[in-house]
Amino acid sequence: MKNLFLFTSLIIFMSLFFTISSFSQTKKEKKVETIGIKSGMYKGSESKEATQYFDQASEKSIAKDYKGAIKLYEKALKEDPNFIEAYDNIGLSYRKLGDFKNAISNYKKSIELYPEGRMAHMNLGIVYNIQKEYDKAIAEYEIIQKNDPEDPEGYYGAISPYLMKGDFKSAIKTATKTVELYEATNSEYLSQAQYLLGISYYYDKDKVNAKTYIEQAKKNGFNNVPQDILKELEIE
């Protein structure tokens, strides 16, 4: 039980780090904004005032002033009630403050306006995972998988709730798909996915495959494997 607690905690941490860094839209995070625009994911707002409030709110978010950010996102939404990015980001701000009820309601509003919205589904999955509503979290990631079967993040996000449920077979299947997609794109997150696949095998009592993938993860730069696991699997 001690090891299970340790690893599931680590898994949640990595999932949160990845999804938060990937999906928080702010003025300074050009990579995320560019992806959203070029993919047709969002169209922004035609309201100059709403956009100005959004940019100001984003600066507040960068400064971790989430209450201030929420006030400005709300002003943006008054100017443009269909400003999808504002719902996503206000949801993130509420989540940072631990207000999951309001985070969920804003993510759902985003999805109501744009059902295919990858960011809202991913972030809603995170909230459900935090609340230990693992089936709901998995359902959100499955929507992403259905909308874009080649999007690795829909599979990556589902690994943690499967592990938390103790459904190691599904975790292995999902992690395997994640590794395949990350390998195809030479992703910087490949080592994390390999580690999660190794851990999934480990808890499924397949130490041969566990050792294989954890060794691959270490080779590719993942250095957070606990020493007791390394010792048990005889990994140097």
Tens-of-pLDDT digits for all 236 residues of the chain? 444 544 444 444 444 344 333 333 333 222 222 222 233 456 788 899 999 999 999 999 999 999 999 999 999 999 999 999 999 999 999 999 999 999 999 999 999 999 998 899 999 999 999 999 999 999 999 999 999 999 999 999 999 999 999 999 999 999 999 999 999 999 999 999 999 999 999 999 999 999 999 999 999 999 888 889 999 999 98
**Predicted confidence (pLDDT) per residue in 171-193, tens digit:** 999 999 999 999 999 999 999 99
Which amino acid is it at 99?
A: D
pLDDT value, residue 117: 87
Burial, 232: exposed, middle or buried (Cβ in 10 Å; 0-12, 13-18, 19+)?
Answer: middle
Residue-level pLDDT at 45:
87
SS3 category, 64: coil
Could you give all domains of the chain from N- to C-terminal order, each with its CATH number?
24-153 (1.25.40.10)
In the chain, the N- to C-terminal Cα span, in Å, equals: 24
**Residue 224 confidence (pLDDT):** 87
What pTM was estimated for this model as a whole?
0.82
The residues, any chain, with a CB within 8 Å of residue 6's CB and separated by 6 or more, are 226
Instruction: Give the phi and the psi of residue 48 in degrees, each rounded to 5.
Output: -65, -40
How crowded is residue 107: how many other Cβ atoms within 10 Å of its Cβ? 29
pLDDT value at residue 23:
34
- What pLDDT score was predicted for residue 43? 76
> Using an 8 Å Cβ cutoff, are 103 and 127 in contact?
yes
Whole-number pLDDT of residue 171? 96
